[in-house]
Amino acid sequence: MSDATIAQLLAGVTGLTWQAIVMFGVAGILLWLAIARDYEPLLLLPIAAGAILANLPHSPLIGEEGLLTILYDAGIENELFPLLIFIGIGALTDFGPLLENPRMVLLGAAGQFGIFGVLILALLLGFSRAESASIGIIGAIDGPTSIYVSGQLAPHLLGPITVAAYSYMALVPVIMPPIMRALTTPAERRIRMAPGGRTVSRRTRILFPIGVTLLVGTLVPMAAPLIGALMLGNLMRESGVVQRLTGAASNELANVVTLFLGLAIGSTMVGASFLQPGTLAILGLGIVAFGLDAATGLVLAKGLNRLSGGTFNPLIGAAGISAFPMAARVVQRVAQSEDFENFPLMHAMGANAAGQVASAVAGGVLLALVAGSAV
C-alpha cells in the first residue's frame, strides 16, 4: 500500500506535462495583458486563472463534479452565460445616438464583412465549415456573440476563439488607428459632422428594442436569443420603471456571470488540445477579420461621404465594427489628432451601437446558414 500511496503522492509531479508548463506560460501572458496592460481584465484574468487550474496535473477542477466542469455545464454548454451577459450589455447600452442618425445602421452592417471574409480564408486553410464559421465570428468583435456562435458550432475551439476575440477587442486602440489613417486622407479626417440635433422621445427609445426583437426574431429566428437578450436589457433600461432589475442585470448578475464565464472558458484551454497549429491560425485569422471589418466600414463611409457631398467623416465607418464603446472613442481620438475642435464622437457612437446590433444579427445569420447546410 505504502508504495502505491507514495506513487500517488508523487502523481502530481510525475503528471506534469510540457504542454501544461507551456499553458502556464500562456496564462502568464494573458495575466500580464490583463493586469499590466489592462486589456479586458474582466474576462482575460478569469480565463487565465481557469487555464492555470485546468492544466494542473490530474486537475480535480476539470474532472467530473469539478468546479470548472460545473461552471461549464451550468452556463457555457447551454449558452446561458453569454445571453445573460448580453442582457447586461443591453441594460448598459444607450442607442440614443443611433436613433438620432438611423442611416448609421449601414456602417454597422459593413463592419461585419470580416466575419465572412475570414470564413472563406479558414475554409481555404482546411478548417471544417463549422470551424470556419466559428473562426469568422471573431470578426463580430463582440465577446458574447463569439462565445455563443462558436459554442454551438465548434465548442472545441471555444478557448482560442474567445481569447482572440477579447484580446483583439482590447487592442482596438492599437490596431485601428493605422488602418484608419491608411484608408482616409487628412482632409477627410478633418470633416466636421453637423450635430444631429434631433431629440428622441422616450416612447421611441422604448419601442426600439421591441421593434428590433420582433423584426430580427421573425426574419432570422436563429438570431432571436442574442438580439432578444440584448434588447430585453435595453427595454428594461429605457422603460425606467424597473431600475432594480436593470441594476441587477448590469451589475450583480453581470459580474458573477462574467467571472464564471471566464473561468469556464479558461478550463477549455487544456494544453493537449490548445497547443495545436490551428490555434495560431485562429489568432492570425482573427486579426485579419478585425482589419477587414474596419476596412469595409471605412470604405462604405467614404462612399457615404461622396454621396453626401463631403459632409460625412469617413472615420466614423471604423466604428461600425462594434467593440462597443471603444471603437467610437478611438474614432474621436484619431479625428481630434487631426483637428482638435472636431467632435464626431456622438455620430461614431451611433455607428458603434449599430455595429453591436449588426454583430448579433450576423451571428444569428451565420448559425442559420452554416447549421442549416453543415449537416
Indicate which single residue of 101, 132, 296, 322 sits in contact with Na ion (rule: CB under 5 A): 322
Select 135 or 157, whichever has its Cβ closest to another protein: 135
Cell of residue 98, nine digits? 443611433
Query: What phi, psi does 356 have (nearest 5°)?
Result: -60, -45
24 counts as binding another protein under rule CB under 8 A: no
CA distance 186 to 102: 26
Question: What's the closest the beta carbon of residue 310 comes to another protein, in angstroms?
Answer: 21
Nearer to its own copies, 112 or 246 (CB): 246
SS3 at position 154: coil
Alpha-carbon distance values, 34 to 39, 101, 366 (Å): 5, 35, 30
The site partner of 310 among Na ion, its own copies, another protein, none (C-beta below 5 to 8 Å per kind) is none
Contact positions with Na ion (CB under 5 A) in 131-170: 140-141
Cβ proximity to Na ion: between 234 and 267 the closer is: 234
Rounded least distance, CB 10 to another protein, Å: 11
Instruction: List the single partner that 4 binds among its own copies, Na ion, another protein, none, CB under 5 to 8 Å by kind.
Output: its own copies
Q: 141 is in the binding site of which of its own copies, Na ion, another protein, none (Cβ under 5 to 8 A by kind)?
A: Na ion
Interaction between residue 65 and its own copies (CB under 8 A): yes
Contact between 22 and its own copies per CB under 8 A: no
Between the two ends of the chain, the Cα-to-Cα distance in Å is: 52
Q: Collapse the DSSP code of 360 into the 3-class scheme (helix H, G, I; strand E, B; otherwise coil) and give the result.
A: helix
345 binding partner (options another protein, its own copies, Na ion, none; Cβ < 5 to 8 Å by kind): another protein
Complex with its own copies: residue 67 or 348, whichever CB lies closer: 67
Alpha-helical (H) ranges within 36-74 are 41-55, 67-71
Q: Beta-carbon neighbour count of residue 182 at 10 Å? A: 10
Q: How does 292-307 read in b/e, with b if 16+ C-beta sit within 10 Å?
A: bbbbbbbebbbebbee
| Residue 255 binds to its own copies (criterion: CB under 8 A) | yes
- Of 69, 146, 250, 268, the residue at the interface with another protein (CB under 8 A) is 250
CB 161 within 8 A of CB 135: yes
